[in-house]
Amino acid sequence: MNEWFFNTLNEQYSLVRICSSGDMGEVSQLRHKMHGRNIIKRVYRGTDSTYKILHALPHPNIPKIYEVIFDNDTVTILEEYIEGLTISDILDSGLYKESGVITIISSLCDALDILHENGIVHRDIKPENVMIDNSGIVKLIDYSAAKIYKPHRSQDTQALGTAGYAAPEQFGIAQSDRRVDIYALGILMNVMLTKEYPSKLFYQGRLTKTIDKCTQLDPNKRYQNVTELKNDLPKEI
């Protein structure tokens, strides 16, 4: 079955570029030889079933997962290719206004709501992992650091995340749960508004209290779910 899949993939698609390659695995862009459609191929070592769950969770703010193939200790994912810009790309040319931040964070809350309800914690929310497609739809991408929350564990088996955006508990203090994504959303908001982490320059404005509550070191003092956060975002700017 797997041999047939990989043979068919190689026959029908050609490599466009290697997007990234490292210890976490390899991400590449492929193009269908006949139809010209682009897809993303992710290959990484492991047996985690996060992408299997994502495959069954169609949502406008989450990339479509077309195939998930397990082959011994390697997972291959075929994923929707998104035409657009990341928040990181947009920040290269200037800052966001509060209204823009609210729109994007609201969409991210919608994506995270369905993820969290299905036990998935993203664990790597940052400007490079949030895309705005050419239709203006927000997409939360790259689930290579995502995990399935297991209530019986006291801490993560592996420390993953991006420095500056990762909550303290992601570094062995406790198990990551949905509140680490809320912490990262707070950091992301501050960066979108100032290009700096809150520790260096804390944003002052209508989103100050929201950012502060998201980024509390004690997870019990943060918003406890993304619905609570979304409902607390200012409605008029």
Copy the structure tokens of residue 16.
Answer: 């466009």
For strand 38-45 and strand 65-71, is the pairing parallel, antiparallel, or unpaired?
unpaired
Block residue for tokens 């501050």: 190
65 close to 77: Cβ distance less than 8 angstroms: yes
Q: Active-site positions? A: 124
60 close to 152: Cβ distance less than 8 angstroms: no
Question: Longest Cα pair distance anywhere in the chain, in angstroms?
Answer: 57
46 close to 125: Cβ distance less than 8 angstroms: no
| DSSP label at residue 62 | B
156 close to 124: Cβ distance less than 8 angstroms: no
How far is the C-alpha of 167 from the C-alpha of 191, rounded, in Å?
Answer: 15
- Closest residue by Cα to residue 145 from 70, 163, 131: 163
State the angle between helix axes of 178-194 and 98-117 in degrees (0 to 180), rounded to the nearest 10: 170
Q: Residue 80, class by beta-carbon neighbours within 10 Å (0-12 exposed, 13-18 middle, 19+ buried)?
A: middle
